[in-house]
Every structure is written in C-alpha cells, then in structure tokens.
Amino acid sequence: MIHHIVRKEFADMIRDGRFRWSAILVGSLLLVSLAHGWVQARKASQEHAAAQATTREHWETQGEKNPHSAAHYGVYAFKPRLALSFVDEGVDPFTGTSVWLEAHRQNDFLLRPAQDATAAQRIGALTAAQVLQHLVPLLIILLTFGAFASERERGTLRQLLATGVGWRELALGKALGASGALALLLVPAAVAGAAALVVANPGPTASPLARGAVLAGAYLAYFVVFLALSLAVSARARSSRTALVFLLAVWVVNGLVAPRVAVDLSKRVYPTPSAFEFARTVEREMADGVEDIAPPDRDESTERLLAEYGVERVEDLPINAVGVYLQESEEFGNRIFDRNYGALWDAFRRQGILQETLAAAAPSIAVRTLSMGLAGTDVEQHRHFAEAAETYRRDLMRQMNGDMTENSLTGDFSYAAGAELWESVPPLEYEAPPLGWVLGNRILSLAVLGAWLAGAVLLASAQVRRAEVA
Amino acid sequence: MTARTVLKNEWRLLMADRPLQIALGLFLVLLGYALTNGVVWLRFQERTVEATTSGNVERASALQQELEAIEAGGQPSSPFADPRSPRVLGGPSGSHTAVLAPGPLAALAIGQGDLLPYYYDVNIYTNEASFQQNGEVENPLNLMVGRFDLAFAVVYLLPLLVLALSFNVLSEEREQGTLALTLSQPVSARSVVTVKLAFRALVVAGIVLGVSLLGALATGGFGSPGRLLLWSVTVVAYSLFWFALAAWVNALGRSSAWNATVLVGAWLVLVVVLPAAINAAAGLLHPQPSRVEMVTAQREASNDAVNRRSELLARYLEDHPEMAEGVVADEPGLGALSWAATDAVNGRLEEVAAEHDARRAEQTALVRRYRFLSPALLAQEALLDAAGTGDARFAHFQSQVRAFAEQWRDFFVPAILADEQMNASVLPNVPRFGVADEGSTDVARRATVPLGVLGGLLALVSAAAGVGLGRVRGAD
C-alpha cells in the first residue's frame, strides 16, 4: 500500500508547476553556488600557496645578517583554505587571511576580505550552505504544508482513510514522496560536491570525504526536522492556509530572526573589549608585567649567567648574554599574549556556545554551526590555525635567539648568520584538525540537532495520530 | 460612504482582530530590542572614542613634562627614546589617535560600524599598510551573522508585517461577499483600497518611525534633522512599496491564499534571494582583487630599500638601539638614512595600493549597479547612509586620516632629515586631528540615487495597482 502513496505523492509533486519552478530555482542556485564556491576556494588556495612560497623564499634569501635582525624580518603565514570551504565559507571573509610572524609580538590576522567589500555584500552571500540552510527548508514547507490540510479541505482524506490505509502509513508515504522529489535536486548536488572533492580537491584538509559525509548527514537530519514539523503542522492545522502561515513564521524566526537575536544577546552576556582597549592593555602589560608575570630583569639575567659560567666579566662569557635576555623577553611576552589573546578567544567561544544553546529555539543555528565546523571555516578552526602560526613564530624566535647566544659573544654586533641557518628552520606546514576534534567541539550542536530530530519526528507521529479527518 | 467611515471601520476591525494585534505587538517588541542593541553598541563606541581622546591628551602631556624636565637639566627617561628626537616625538610613542565619532543616528543602524575601523594611530610611520588594520575587535561569527538592529528589522521584517496587514485587503471582501455591497455605494474599489491601505500604512509607519524617533531622541539624533528626514523618507517609501505591491496583487482578483503565496514569494525573491544572487553574480563576473599580493609587494619593497643600505651595524642599531650601549647612538645621518628607506617603501606601497584600489573601485561600481534590482538593497543603502554607518562615511574618514598623516609627516620629517632636536615649544604646533564630518547635503546627494530608484519602483507598482483596481467591479 505504502508504495502507492509514495508514488502518488511523488508524481503529484513533480507534476505541480509551482514545485517544478521552485525546485529548478533552488537546484540551480545550489549548483551555481557550489561551482562559485569551488572556483573561489581554489583561487584563494592557489594564491595563498604562492604567497606562502614567496615568503619562504624571502626568508631563505634574506642574505647574511644577525639572527635577531632576521627575527625582526620574520615571515608571513597565510591561512590555507580547507577542502570543504567551497560548501560553506563560514567566517572566512571576516577573519584575516595573513599574519606577520616577527620578533617580540603576536600580531593580529590582517586583510579581512569583507573589509574590502560593500555593505550590500554583507546582507547575503550565496553559498551552498546558505541555500541548504534557508531555501531547501522553504521548499520542504511549500511541498508539504498541504499534505493533510489540503486533502482535508478537499474531502479526499476521508476517502483515503476509508480504503483502510493507516495514519502512520499515510504520513510515512507522504514524507517519502516529498523526500523523493527533493532527492531529485539534492542528490545531484551531493554527487557534484563529492566529485569536486575527489577529482579536484580545492585545498588541504584531514579526511575530506569523512567530513563531507558527516556534513551531508547533518543537513539530512535538518531537512527531516523540517519535513516532520511541516507534516505535523499540516495534520493539525484548521486549514492549509493556517498551516502555511504558521510554517512560514517558523521559517522566518528560524533563519532570519533567531540567529541575529542570538548574536546580540551573546555579545551582551559576554562582552569583548574594544580594539583600542585590547591594544593598550597588551602594551601596558608588556611594559610593566601583570600579576605574577614580571618582565625579565637584564642585570639579574646577566648575574645569573656570570654565576653559572663562573666568570667575573660579561666579556668572558662563552655565550652572548643578549641572546639569552632576548629569549627571556620572548618567554615573558608569550605569557602576556597567551593571557590576553586567550581571554579574547575564550570570550568568542562562550559567545558561540550561548548561540549554539539558543539553537534549541532555532535548528538553523545548530546546522550552521555543524556545517562551518565540518567545512573547516568556524571560529575554532581559525583559532587552531592562529595558534599553529603563533607556535611556529615562537619556535622560530627560539631558534634565532639560540643561534645568536651560541655563536656570538656579548657586545658583538658584527656576527651574521647566513642561508644555512635560515634553511634549517622548517617551513610552516599546517595540519588541519581531524574529524574527531571538530565533532568534539560540536557536541552541543550535535545534541541539539539530534533533539530537534527526535522531537520533530515524535511530534509528527503524535499529531498525525490525533489528526481529524474533516 | 466617506474616507472617514472607512477609517473608522478599519479601526474597529483592528481592535477586534486579536492575531493582528499580537503580530503588531510582537513587531513592536522586536523593534524595541533592535533599538536597545543599537544603543548598547553606540555607548560602546562612545566610550572608545572617549578613551582615545583622553589617551591623546595623556600622551601629549607626558611628553610635555618630559621635555620640560630635560630642558631644566634632567635626563630623558630612556636614552633610546629621547623625546627631543623627531623620530620619537613623531613616532609610535608620540602618535595621535585619529577617531571618527559615531554618527548622529548610529543607534538606528550598526551597519559597517562593527567591521570598518573608526580609529587609527597616526605617526610618521603611518602608510598604506596602516589602513589595512582591522576594525573593532569582534567575534567573526557575529560579523558573519550580522546584528539585529533597526535597519535589519526595517529591511527584512517590515515588509512581512505590511504583507500580513494587506494581502487580503480586497480579496477578503470578495470572499465574504461584502465587496459587491461596498461597491454599490458611490465609491470605487481604488478609493476603498487606498483608504484601507493608507490606514494600515499609518499604523506601520507610525510604529517604526515612533521607535526610530525615540531612538534618535535618546541618543541626540535630532542634532541632524537632515539625516533623520532621510531615514524617515526611506522607511515610508520602502513600506509604501510593499503596500502598493499588495494592492496590485489584490487587484488581480484571485483568492486570499493565492495573494499570500505570491506576496511571500515576492518578498523572498526581492529581499532574500535577489541580494544573494546579485552578490554571487558580482563575485563571479567581477572578482575582487586579492589583498594577498599586497603583502608580497610590501615585502619586496622593503627588502629592496633595506638592500640599498649596506651598513650592517646601522641596521642592527635601528632594530635595537637599546642594545647599542651608547656605541653609536648619535651617528650622524642615521635618521636621514633610515627615513629614506621608509619613504621608499611608502612610495612603493602607495603604488600597489593605488592599483588595488582602482581595481576595487571598478568592481564596486559594477556591483553597485545591480542593487537597482532589489528594493531591499536600495533601502539598506539609504538607511545606512542616513545613520552614518555606510561605506561612504568610513571612506570619507579614511581619506581625512590619510591627509592628516601627510600633515604629520610634513611637521616631523624636515627635522629628521636635518638631524635636529625638538623641544617643548613645538608641542602646541603639532598637528591635531579634527574630523570634518560630511554634511547633510553630501548625504542627501548620495541618497538621491537609491531613493530615486526606490521612488520610481514605488510609482511603477502604484500605477499598476491603480490601473488594476480601476478594473475591479463589485459583481465579478
């Protein structure tokens, strides 16, 4: 029996002009956005790889100089675009693309693409993720708001039930029929996406296919939530019009209102300092130290070295005391940076968690968070790269100061190292976090989306059971 | 039956319609939330502006005290940061923060204010790369999602309220069978619909403008009546556009359900899909030049400049004067030599930036053409411009900071080149930044285009609605 229902629903849908046109619109937007995203990601990826190679070349060919001058010269790190970022660019336009790794300071990521764009470009980016998060649910609503309500209005529901078909079967059949129609546009997009990943990987990532599979699963769960909600509302609503109005209201709150309301709320609960305040705090703490973090004392450091080497005068030290002091300054600065940047990242994380919690009121927030996480374009993975770059900077500084300490004497400003030292520094090689790390960060969103899924399916079965025939 | 009777009946209907009252109440609550978000953000910016201003004063007075102490025979606090040196006095430790105070209506639209920088530390080393700094510290997630401010509520949610109020303005009468009765009186369908919609427009505009004016009142926005007027005109024109669209659809004589579907579809296309599609098309057809190559160019320029100065020691001392232990602190010409290199790098950076900016301006101009397709984009542009949080005001500020940096260099560089020392007497003459904010006329001139097009769209849709309603007969 059920396959008759499925076939009938499916046939109805693809015969319906409204569905055909909206499906063609959404399907082509999806394919265009995938293609657009892929082209962009590959272009950015190539640019960054080229720039990374150039900065390495500059580093290696900087000529003979004091290692500390080389440390000031530094290198740049360019944030790689991960493979799946073509599906969801996430926060990438709003984080910087490059950071200068130099002596004495942790710099901010600069060159945010959005800063070069216009205000109009901020109110809607057409990415595959946007289409999947907003337009596909709308299509689901349009497909199913009348599933029961229209049949009831036309009086066909009574006839249908008179044939002996159960409510359960009917609901399942309608859900499967709509899924079949949706599959006509989603499956090709998924295949195209997977093909793009396999055939011409646009960028590096750990286990791109596994990430892609989980991503597809998250979206599938999200669509089932909408399908079940829509059927539940259709089963209960007095008229198909009421069902549509109610579902559209849910859609507006879910996709438009709730995410922004959550942003402002999270900012009020967990405020962040102004850039001015942040910079001044770092400057002040770098000058005077803070709490138990005191700036290194140069005389004390020298005294300790004299005692350690058992000599009387600085000139008699077999090493360069300045190099030791410079490294101590680095270590001190690192603690100040960790303290300030750590607090900032933590505030961002708490804001994010609050927003994830509010997904209890709007599943779009949960699926958005999962989507960015799996695409590698969320704040946490930006932080992951930023910390990798900072660790690289610290290692680089340690190596430069170490070379200066070992190979020159205090007060000797003529010592110059060469290409051999520069080349001995390994290039920055970033490894994206594995899938487990990403999912570990996103347990809350997984749970909330799971709860939505279970809740929506239970609600649908309860509402269908209690639905009235006429 | 007069317009007054219709209005009176409309009022009674509104009073009796519980769901509509709930919808209006909810909208009012959302507007209130949006406004408080704007006010919180405005206060945050004001505190920052205050901190930069007092920072400027503190730095100047600390330098003055030190210079006076030195003149009285004291020693500089650090021999390597002697404020008598123009490279120190005009350098990072003596820098002046140029700041753009939030616009008079900033509480109404956060706009680009959370993304674009509104303050820069200016000193002799300020160059094109300095303008690549980030704006306010902000969670990138929040930047991506966007804020819930009044401008958002107007552009996205106001049309939905308008449509909820008007999708069945005529079709309901037909469905209830009262249309024939109404039109049997000496009135036309056109005037009935006009009066009914005028009443609803008054309610909607009243709510939105009421909240906006309240916000302006609370944050001193009445200081700029021109901007307030522009804001109000945009809100009214935008909501009238949606009312006119509803009237047109009603004139087609279909069912209320059909009207609702078509109107929601129109909202979806004009407000959600079209802006996104326009952005995607713009990105595909006119890709933005990448800034990444600027980093490389800057690097190459400074390598080149540094290579021209071969003295290893001088370079080392420049990086670390405190390490010199007084060896060659006063080596003649060091300042001039170093400035020559800085200047060479700045020149190259300006070339690269100019090239980049030209490409970017070209791209932006092309992208901006497409906004005529969407009334939502037009309204957003005019609203942000009115609030002073659009792209134009920030660009204006940046060009002023650029000019100020030039002024700053002109003041200090001659002394650097001549290897002269400065004293406390020059302090009153050090340039101070004062922003010359754009006038209401500049804003109005810029807003003519989007408002004109929005007005044109409104006239077009109204005309179509008028013609359509003229054909409506009671007995069809």
What pLDDT sits at residue A146?
A: 80
- The CA-atom distances, in angstroms, between B472 and each of B174, B190, B250, B405 are 11, 8, 10, 66
Contact B115 A379 (CB under 8 A): no
Residue B476: pLDDT over 60 = no
Quick: pLDDT tens for A22-34.
Answer: 888 888 888 888 8
Residue A204: pLDDT over 70 = no
- Can you tell me the distance from the alpha carbon of B41 to that of B448, in angstroms, rounded to the nearest whole number? 28
Quick: pLDDT tens for A174-196.
Answer: 888 888 888 888 888 888 888 87
- Can you tell me the distance from the alpha carbon of A24 to that of A16, in angstroms, rounded to the nearest whole number? 12
Of B139, B292, B371, the CB nearest to A111: B292
Cβ atoms of A354 and B116 closer than 8 Å: no
Cβ atoms of B114 and B142 closer than 8 Å: yes
Lowest mean pLDDT among A411-420, A438-447, B460-469: A411-420
Beta-bridged to residue A106, according to DSSP, are A101
What pLDDT sits at residue A1?
A: 65
- Can you tell me the distance from the alpha carbon of B219 to that of B225, in angstroms, rounded to the nearest whole number? 13
What pLDDT sits at residue A345?
A: 94
- The CA-atom distances, in angstroms, between B131 and each of A56, B117, B292, B363 are 25, 9, 15, 20
Give pairs for A467-470: CB < 8 Å, separation 24+: A467/A148, A467/A167, A467/A235, A467/A236, A468/A152, A469/A152, A469/A157, A469/A158, A469/A161, A470/A152, A470/A155, A470/A157, A470/A158
Structure tokens at A27: 């399907």
pLDDT: is B453 or B304 the higher one?
B453
B312 pLDDT tier (thresholds 50, 70, 90): very low
What pLDDT sits at residue B318?
A: 57
Cβ atoms of B359 and B290 closer than 8 Å: no
Mean pLDDT score of chain B: 83
- Can you tell me the distance from the alpha carbon of A357 to that of A355, in angstroms, rounded to the nearest whole number? 5
**What distance separates the 2 farthest-apart alpha carbons in chain B?**
104
ipTM score for this prediction: 0.91
What pLDDT sits at residue B319?
A: 55
**What distance separates the 2 farthest-apart alpha carbons in chain A?**
106
Cβ atoms of A77 and A70 closer than 8 Å: no
CA distance B473 to chain A (A): 26
What pLDDT sits at residue B325?
A: 46
In A86-236, which residue ranges form alpha helices assigned H by DSSP?
A: 113-116, 128-130, 136-144, 149-154, 156-162, 167-199, 208-236
B23 pLDDT tier (thresholds 50, 70, 90): confident
Show which of residues 106-165 on chain B sit within 8 Å of chain A, judged by CB atoms: 111-112, 115-117, 119, 132-148, 152, 155-157, 160
Lowest mean pLDDT among A378-392, B201-215, B352-366: B352-366
Contact B368 A272 (CB under 8 A): no
Residue A436: pLDDT over 60 = yes
A111: left (phi over 0), alpha (psi -120 to 50) or beta: left
Indicate the burial class of A352 (C-beta count within 10 angstroms; 0-12, 13-18, 19 or more): buried
Backbone angles phi, psi at A106, to 5 degrees: -95, 115
B367: left (phi over 0), alpha (psi -120 to 50) or beta: alpha
Show which of residues 27-56 on chain A sit within 8 Å of chain B, judged by CB atoms: 29, 32-33, 36, 39-40, 43-44, 47-48, 51, 54-55
Choosing among B45, B131, B139, which should be mutated to test the A contact, i.e. which has the most A CBs within 10 A? B139
- Can you tell me the distance from the alpha carbon of A26 to that of A185, in angstroms, rounded to the nearest whole number? 8
What pLDDT sits at residue B329?
A: 42
Choosing among B116, B141, B449, which should be mutated to test the A contact, i.e. which has the most A CBs within 10 A? B141
- In sequence order, what are the residues at sequence separation of 6 or more whose Cβ sits closer than 8 angstroms to the Cβ of residue B289? B356, B359, B360, B363
Show which of residues 136-165 on chain A sit within 8 Å of chain B, judged by CB atoms: 138
Strand, helix or coil at A200? coil
Query: To the nearest whole percent, how much of chain B has pLDDT over 70?
Result: 92
What pLDDT sits at residue A185?
A: 82
Residue B178: pLDDT over 90 = no
Structure tokens at B93: 């430790």
A259: left (phi over 0), alpha (psi -120 to 50) or beta: alpha
B306 pLDDT tier (thresholds 50, 70, 90): low
- Can you tell me the distance from the alpha carbon of A158 to that of A151, in angstroms, rounded to the nearest whole number? 8
Residue B331: pLDDT over 70 = no
What pLDDT sits at residue A270?
A: 95
Residue of A nearest to B111 (CA): A119
Chain A partners within 8 Å of B372 (Cβ): none
pTM: 0.89
What pLDDT sits at residue A470?
A: 62
Cβ atoms of A356 and A366 closer than 8 Å: yes
pLDDT: is A398 or B77 the higher one?
A398
Chain A partners within 8 Å of B52 (Cβ): 276
- Can you tell me the distance from the alpha carbon of B156 to that of B147, in angstroms, rounded to the nearest whole number? 12
Structure tokens at A93: 């336009």
Quick: pLDDT tens for A150-166.
Answer: 777 777 777 777 777 77
Residue of B nearest to A114 (CA): B115
Structure tokens at B414: 């001659």
Read off the pLDDT of each residue in A284-297 and give the average, rounded to a whole number.
88
Quick: pLDDT tens for B78-96.
Answer: 777 788 888 888 888 888 9
Of A130, A252, A344, the CB nearest to B160: A252
Residue A388: pLDDT over 90 = yes
Query: To the nearest whole percent, how much of chain A has pLDDT over 70?
Result: 98
Show which of residues 320-359 on chain B sit within 8 Å of chain A, judged by CB atoms: 320, 323-325, 327
- Can you tell me the distance from the alpha carbon of A338 to that of A347, in angstroms, rounded to the nearest whole number? 14
* Residue B70: how many other CB atoms lie within 10 Å: 18
pLDDT: is A465 or A442 the higher one?
A442
Mean pLDDT score of chain A: 87
What pLDDT sits at residue A455?
A: 95
Residue of A nearest to B130 (CA): A110
Strand, helix or coil at A1? coil
- The CA-atom distances, in angstroms, between B330 and each of A127, B63, B124, B315 are 59, 21, 20, 14
B19 pLDDT tier (thresholds 50, 70, 90): confident
Of A272, A411, A416, the CB nearest to B137: A272
Lowest mean pLDDT among A112-116, A134-138, B92-96: A112-116
Query: To the nearest whole percent, how much of chain A has pLDDT over 90?
Result: 33
Please give the interface size between A and B, counted as residue pairs whose CB atoms are below 8 Å apart: 227
* Residue B8: how many other CB atoms lie within 10 Å: 12
The verdict on A404 touching B (C-beta cutoff 8 Å) is: no
B152 pLDDT tier (thresholds 50, 70, 90): very high
What pLDDT sits at residue A360?
A: 92
- Can you tell me the distance from the alpha carbon of A246 to that of A117, in angstroms, rounded to the nearest whole number? 36
Query: Which one-letter DSSP state was computed for residue A432?
Result: P
Structure tokens at A195: 């093909």
What pLDDT sits at residue B1?
A: 53
Helices and strands (DSSP H and E) totals, chain A: 20, 3
Cβ atoms of B181 and B62 closer than 8 Å: no
Cβ atoms of A127 and A37 closer than 8 Å: yes
- Can you tell me the distance from the alpha carbon of B267 to that of B351, in angstroms, rounded to the nearest whole number? 45
